[in-house]
Structure 1
Amino acid sequence: MARIPVSGIQHTLRCGEYEAVVASVGASLRTLRFDGRDLVVPFGADELRTGYRGATLAPWPNRVVDGHYSFGGAAHVLALTEPERGHALHGLAAWLDFQVTDAGSDHVTLAATIEPQAGYPWRVEVTTTYRLAADGLVQTVTARNAGAQPAPWGTGPHPYLVAGAGALDEWTFELPAAEVLLVTDDRLIPTDLRPVDADDAARFDFREARTIGAAEIDHAYSGLVRDESGTATVRVTDPAGTGVEMTWDAACPWVQIHTADLPGGPAQPGHRAGLAVEPMTCAPDAFNAGSYSYDAGLIVLEPGAESSASWRIAAI
């Protein structure tokens, strides 16, 4: 029997100048290239994925503060998978081994089941399809509540976009979002949703494309400006003229942006190596939606019900 790489079974997709590799563990986008150029920060097939790089996030993206929440009249406690900040981070699917249910030269569909467990006592079937086309790579995630009780749900991807060979500080970033969710400096606990042109939030305003510079961002945005079809678009470009754009529809009213600042700074591999752009169906800590004055977007899946969201990554 052939040895299975650390990241699981590898699925290579090709279409025109695009090539992608999807790894089965976490249904992770391991590489995405256009004409040989990386569009996302890659990782090796036998490399232990770091920073949730390319993973499919479910049944919640981002954080559940302190790992505590209430739903359906019951209190729940999740394992703290971000121990340095004391939160439950990025769901339960990131280390599941997804099984292939359909595959072709330009697409693959993978499925896994989140089984009832301590902190999340619901059974949710997760299916995701990656499909390459002439206009880029589209990922769609669909959840189905296979249990007998309503379940809280949220999802999103975790790619680190790469504009080009230049340093992230030199990249130009455009994000059509009117609001940013401010957080505490130490634990990134949400505090207030503010207009991006407010005095305490203006450093996060990228509605007009501008250079990222030394900005350190690990924040969620909302109030997204969309085109006539309801699509929001983020663009990041390198001074050499190359770049990446990411688009998504109204299924994701939030997006997390992270400049990949690591505690060890430039000496630590991966520090500011890419710009994480994470469209999300809900806000950080949405499982505690009742604690906030804004709509956190928590989805409640009724028994047998489904919910889908999708996004696209393309070369500029």
Structure 2
Amino acid sequence: MARIPNSGTQHALRAGDYEAVIASVGATLRSLTHHGRDLVVPFDADEVRPAHRGATLAPWPNRVVDGTYTFGGVERQLALTEPARSHALHGLAAWLDFEAIDKGPDHVTLAAVIQPQTAYPWRIVVTTTFSLGPDGLTQSVSARNESDEPAPWGTGPHPYLVAGEGRVDDWTLELPAGQVLAVTPDRLIPTDLVAVDADEPERFDFRTARRIDGVEIDHAYSGLTRDDEGLATVRVTVADGTGVAMTWDAACPWVQVHTADKPDAAQSRLGLAVEPMTCAPDAFNAANYSFDAGLLVVEPGASTEASWRIAAIG
């Protein structure tokens, strides 16, 4: 039997000038190119996925502070998968091996089950479809609650977008968001939702496209400006106007943006993480905040879905 790469079974997709490879572990977008140009930071098939690069995040994106939350009157303790900050990071699905239940030359549908466990006692069937077309790569994620009780839920992707040559500092960002979630500097614990031009507009306000330069961001944004179809779009470009765009609908009222700062300069700021999210960071503790954190509650037998698209510019 052929050896399975460390990132799982590989699903190669192609449509027109686009090519993508989806790895089964974490239903991960391992690579995406247009005319051979990278649109996301890739990694090798036999590489253990670096952190959450390209992974599908569920049943929560981002962080649960201290790994603790109360739902249905019961307090629960999640494993602290971000030990440096003592939080539960990016859900339970990122290292599950998803099974292909439908596949064609330009699409694949993967499914996995989050089994009931002490810290999250609900059975959730997670199904995601990656589809390539002339407008880029679209991913949809659905959750079906197969438990007898309502379940808290959130999802989102974790791609690191690549505009072209250079690194994050060389690129221009257009981010149509009027609000940013203030966090503590050490542990990134949410404190308040504020206007992007309130305190540090040079750091957070990218409503008018401008170069990122040395700005460091690891924050969630909301208050998104949308087009006539209700879509929000982030654009990352190089000097000649080419680049990459990420678009999503009202299912995701939040987006996390991270300049991918690393201690190792060689690995730092290689791509810009743009993560549309159905809910805010720490949404499992939504009652602790004065703003609407957007936590979804999926009733027994019910389903919910969200989707987003990555496409080349130029």
Query: Given the two structures, how large is their TM-score scaled by the length of structure 1?
Result: 0.98
1:137-148 paired onto structure 2 within 5 Å: 137-148=137-148
1:311 corresponds to 2:308: yes
Paired letter, 1:209: A
Tell me if structure 2 keeps the 8 A contact 1:194–1:201: no
Q: Which amino acid aligns with 1:304?
A: G
Give 1:65 shift.
0.2
Provide, for residues 211-246 of structure 1, a one-character-per-residue CA deviation record: whole Å limited to 9, x for no partner: 001000000000000011100000000124320000
Distance 1:200 1:111 in 2: 42
Q: Corresponding residue for 2:37?
A: 37
Q: Equivalent residue for 1:59?
A: 59
CA distance in 2, matches of 1:149, 1:167: 46
Q: 2:287 is paired with a residue of what secondary structure?
A: helix
Q: Give the Cα–Cα distance (whole angstroms) in 2 for the partners of residues 223 and 27 of structure 1.
A: 29
Distance in 1 separating the partners of 2:183 and 2:109: 36
CA distance in 2, matches of 1:42, 1:17: 17
Residue matched to 1:7: 7
Check if 1:124 corresponds to 2:129.
no
Paired letter, 1:251? A
Q: Separation in 1 of the partners of 2:302 and 2:99?
A: 22
Alignment-mate amino acid for residue 266 of structure 1:
A
Tell me what 1:164 maps to: 164
Aligned to 2:269, what secondary structure does the other structure show? coil
Amino acid at match of 1:299: L
CA distance in 1, matches of 2:168, 2:297: 37
Q: Kindly indicate whether residue 246 of structure 2 is the aligned counterpart of residue 246 of structure 1.
A: yes
Whichever residue aligns with residue 163 of structure 1, its letter is: A
Aligned-residue offset at 1:166: 1.9
* Alignment partner, residue 75 of structure 1: 75
In 2, Cα distance between the equivalents of 1:145 and 1:117? 14
Counterpart of 2:265 in structure 1 is 266
**Which residue of the partner structure matches residue 296 of structure 1?**
293
Q: Which amino acid aligns with 1:274?
A: G
SS in 1 for 2:245: strand
**SS of match in other structure, 1:287:** helix
Do the aligned partners of 1:25 and 1:95 also contact (CA within 8 Å) in 2?
yes
**CA distance in 1: counterparts of 2:201 and 2:74, whole angstroms:** 36
- Offset of 1:201 from its aligned partner? 5.1
Structure 1 counterpart of 2:279, from 279, 282, 292? 282
Q: 1:199 is paired with a residue of what secondary structure?
A: coil
| Residue in structure 2 matched with residue 110 of structure 1 by the alignment | 110
* Residue identity in the other structure for 1:300: V
Q: CA offsets per residue over residues 106-138 of structure 1, 9 Å max, x none?
A: 000000000001210110000000000001000
- Aligned partner of 1:233 in structure 2 is 233
Which runs of 5 or more structure 1 residues have no equivalent in the other structure? none
8 Å Cα contact 2:67-2:77 kept in structure 1: yes
1:221 aligns with 2:221: yes
Which amino acid in the other structure matches residue 308 of structure 1? E
Task: Give deviations 1:278-308, integer Å, cap 9, x for gaps.
Answer: 0000000000000000000000000001000
RMSD between aligned residues: 0.8
Q: State the Cα distance separating 1:33 from its structure 2 match.
A: 0.3
CA contact (8 A) 2:168 2:272 kept: yes
In structure 2, how many angstroms separate the alpha carbons of the residues matched to 1:46 and 1:193? Answer: 41
Aligned to 2:84: 84
TM-score, normalised with respect to structure 2: 0.98
Q: In structure 2, how many angstroms separate the alpha carbons of the residues matched to 1:287 and 1:109? A: 28
Distance 1:281 1:201 in 2: 25
Unmatched tracts of structure 2, length 5 or more: none
What is the distance in 1 between the residues matched to 2:167 and 2:161? Answer: 12
Report sequence identity in percent. Answer: 72
Q: 81-90 vs 163-172, which deviates more?
A: 163-172
8 Å contact from structure 1 (residues 196, 202) kept in 2: no
Report SS of the residue matched to 2:187.
Answer: coil
* Contact 2:203–2:216 (8 Å) recurs in 1: no
User: Does structure 1 conserve the Cα–Cα contact (< 8 Å) formed by 2:203 and 2:217?
Assistant: no
SS of structure 2 residue aligned to 1:203: helix
Query: How many angstroms apart in 2 are the aligned matches of 1:44 and 1:167?
Result: 20
